[in-house]
Structure 1
Amino acid sequence: MFVAAAVLATGCTSLSVPTHPFDHELVDESSVAVPVSDRGEVALVVSRLEESGFFCAQVRANSDAAQVWCRASEDPVGNEVDRSATSVNIVTTRDGVIQYADISAKRGGRDGDWDRLREVLDASFLALWHSDAAKVHKVITEVVRGPRFFPDDPHPPVIKEFSTTNASYLVAEGGLVPKFRLVTSAVQDRSWPYAANDYATTMKVAGPELELSGYKCSTHWSSPCRMGGGQSSNQEISFTTPNPNLSLDDPDQILTVDMFNPGTTDDADLESLSSIGFPQELPFLVPAARGPVEAQIVATQRTGEPFIGIVAGTILIVEPPINLPRVRTGPLPVNVRIGVAPISIVE
């Protein structure tokens, strides 16, 4: 079922985002991360993003649609903040036609954030739809010149919506980062993929194993599991799931895992994560992914080289903190992100 559309006075069609994209059964869904298809519009967009320093992958798919995720693995101006803060989310048809996309772009400072958004657009969707470039840049300039919006501002943010023959766009002040999304006439409701069971287990499986490993977990999803349970613990694991009221007895599927391990100053070689407190065999991952993911985390703790890629069908990001001292012995501290959540539509 295609989303209904309304006609603007300009003659272009204004397309709505889907209202219930995940309201369907999990049928023939795969959450095994794979390289992006070389077919259709998405192939050009992804190739241009990769040339600009992004890593991209298809993170889940079903018979109707695929989710593509791209993240900046390096910053063309050398700003390390940008590396972890700029991402592109895309939903396509199985033939590679773009349905929906949004961009989160950050470089630091309001002007830097908007400049980064312009760069990403020029390297991706505006490389595909050249005729939209002038209009998109004009609207971005209008939003930037408008009043700045802060999260606690009583006044509404500046929001601009407009359409071309290729897509309907939204550009807005987002408070922390600029807001940008687009939707095309290919968009289809009740069809977007949302599975995660090919790489992650459930909290019902992972919770008890974490507690056996020495972690203390809150019954609320937004509170991380901490080694020893103390508020001062800097070794923690947090999750996202489809259910915002997650409890350890809840069988909800884990979507993403965020971990921080402080490492040690011991010169001894690191053999496994369990030797420095991480849960043995990473119970929040399916068995086939546990060993390979642990091996890559350990490798980064040894070398300090950031990693972003696909490991055993799983999206894995392992990065030492930005301000890590260059001279350090022993396993290094690392931030770890496993998996990519289903698309959250930018409103």
Structure 2
Amino acid sequence: MITCLGPLALTGCTGSDGPPSLPPAGVYDHDAAGENSQAGPAPTDGVAGALTRPLREAGWFCAQVRANADGRALWCRIGRRDETDAVSPQVAQFLLDHDDRLAWGWFPPSQANQKDDQVAAAAAPALTAIWPGAGDRVRQEVGDFDRDLETRTTRRGDDIPRAAWRDAHADYSYDGHNGLVVTAQDTSVRRWPFGSEHYATAMSSAVDDLLAGGYDCFYPPQQSCDRPQSNGYFRVALRGDQIVSAQFGIGSRIESGRQRHPLSEEFPHGLTFLTEAVRRPVTERIEQSRRSGTGFAGIVAGTVVIIDARRGIAGGDDLVAYFDIQIGVPLAAT
């Protein structure tokens, strides 16, 4: 194991030993190459199936979220509830080439807990399924890194401690901020898929509707908008002006079986950041959760939809709840 306090902090840690860039340089600097942004279930056979099977069996949702002529991107997610009923998501990302070989993978720490036991617990069985011995090494290196970090009493400047190692399959980099990044040694994808046109429109065409719904939104350059009167938010990941994924929060208040906080109160013209092809079925899926107070993780009309529900008062025909909703998936390594 190489433990670095920074790219140049220790003997043997040179500039090239620094943490891998996210995303790797140049992987999205290309014209469209047969981009397909229609999501589907993660494959159950081949390397893709073996890689995701341990996660799916542990309760993760996995999907193939986009592809192009050179490769395909897989995305897995699980949401864990804390003592306040808030959901803490953890994700895993994989990029495979057109021959179904893993080229790159990323296991970020969960948003609420950057302890690496969750990273190792996800990465080890997934990598072992395709590369024998890789998972045991991940557990060992991450565990050693953890123990070293707990006993270290000083740090140099603002550098982030990092562990790096290599085996016959890949180069690995781990730190508490980025989690585990895996770069295969003999497989690469030159042009990473970036499509989202199947389900999303441009931010410039959606911002006026957000303003009409009461959002404070100053685009460009702002990519995060707030709606103070309802504790709402709307934020996007973009490629240029094109929306790649959108997240927003909205409440639900049902009294005597009737919705008292209609979706149109915040989106008066509907979810115009979605294409017409998916807008109606995605909206219906969201409204179903808002009526029942339940969450959802799945694919609707070729679109990844994640709904995390936090229920408040519920009884009879009455319901108060808040929903954190994600539509689409950010580009790999972003």
Q: C-alpha separation between the residues in 1 aligned to 2:87 and 2:252? A: 22
Residue 132 of structure 1, CA deviation: 2.1
Partner of 1:40: 46
Alignment of 1:192-231 (within 5 A): 192-222=192-222, 224-227=224-227, 231=228
Partner of 1:3: none
TM-score by length of 1: 0.79
Residue 242 of structure 1, CA deviation: 2.4
Does structure 1 residue 114 correspond to structure 2 residue 120? no
Structure 1 residues 153 and 318: CA distance shift in structure 2, 3 A: farther
Residue 108 of structure 1, CA deviation: 5.7
Residue 240 of structure 1, CA deviation: 1.8
Q: C-alpha separation between the residues in 2 aligned to 1:115 and 1:158? A: 17
Does structure 1 residue 234 correspond to structure 2 residue 231? yes
Q: C-alpha separation between the residues in 1 aligned to 2:111 and 2:190? A: 35
Partner of 1:334: 323
Number of aligned residue pairs: give it.
312
CA contact (8 A) 2:254 2:260 kept: no
Matched-pair identity in %: 24
Q: C-alpha separation between the residues in 1 aligned to 2:85 and 2:148? A: 25
Structure 1 residues 279 and 331: CA distance shift in structure 2, 3 A: farther
One-letter code aligned to 1:209 = D
1:37-85 CA deviation, whole Å, 9 max, x = no partner? 344312101122100111000111001110100001568xx88989632
1:246-286 CA deviation, whole Å, 9 max, x = no partner? xxxxxx10111111112225334239944443333310000
Does structure 1 residue 87 correspond to structure 2 residue 91? yes
One-letter code aligned to 1:125 = L
1:286-308 CA deviation, whole Å, 9 max, x = no partner? 00111111111111111122101
Residue 344 of structure 1, CA deviation: 1.9
CA contact (8 A) 2:124 2:136 kept: no
CA contact (8 A) 1:59 1:67 kept: yes
One-letter code aligned to 2:225 = C
Q: C-alpha separation between the residues in 2 aligned to 1:38 and 1:109? A: 30
Of the candidates 100, 104, 107, which is equivalent to residue 96 of structure 1? 100
Of the candidates 155, 161, 164, which is equivalent to residue 161 of structure 1? 164
SS at match of 2:330: coil
**Structure that is richer in strand per residue:** 2
Residue 139 of structure 1, CA deviation: 1.2
Q: C-alpha separation between the residues in 1 aligned to 2:109 and 2:314? A: 28
Of the candidates 131, 135, 142, which is equivalent to residue 140 of structure 1? 142
Of the candidates 296, 301, 321, which is equivalent to residue 312 of structure 1? 301
Structure 1 residues 279 and 311: CA distance shift in structure 2, 3 A: farther
Does structure 1 residue 302 correspond to structure 2 residue 304? no
Structure 1 residues 265 and 169: CA distance shift in structure 2, 3 A: same
Structure 1 residues 53 and 299: CA distance shift in structure 2, 3 A: same
CA contact (8 A) 2:116 2:179 kept: no
Residue 179 of structure 1, CA deviation: 1.4
SS at match of 1:123: helix
TM-score by length of 2: 0.82
Q: C-alpha separation between the residues in 2 aligned to 1:188 and 1:314? A: 27
Does structure 1 residue 173 correspond to structure 2 residue 176? yes
Q: C-alpha separation between the residues in 2 aligned to 1:237 and 1:84? A: 18
Residue 183 of structure 1, CA deviation: 0.8
Q: C-alpha separation between the residues in 2 aligned to 1:81 and 1:122? A: 28
Structure 1 residues 222 and 84: CA distance shift in structure 2, 3 A: farther
One-letter code aligned to 1:137 = R
Partner of 1:249: none
Partner of 1:30: 36
Structure 1 residues 79 and 141: CA distance shift in structure 2, 3 A: farther
Structure 1 residues 279 and 117: CA distance shift in structure 2, 3 A: same
Partner of 2:6: none
Of the candidates 117, 124, 127, which is equivalent to residue 125 of structure 1? 127
Listed as ranges, the gaps of 5+ residues in structure 1 are 1-8, 244-251
Structure 1 residues 91 and 226: CA distance shift in structure 2, 3 A: same
Q: C-alpha separation between the residues in 1 aligned to 2:144 and 2:235? A: 39
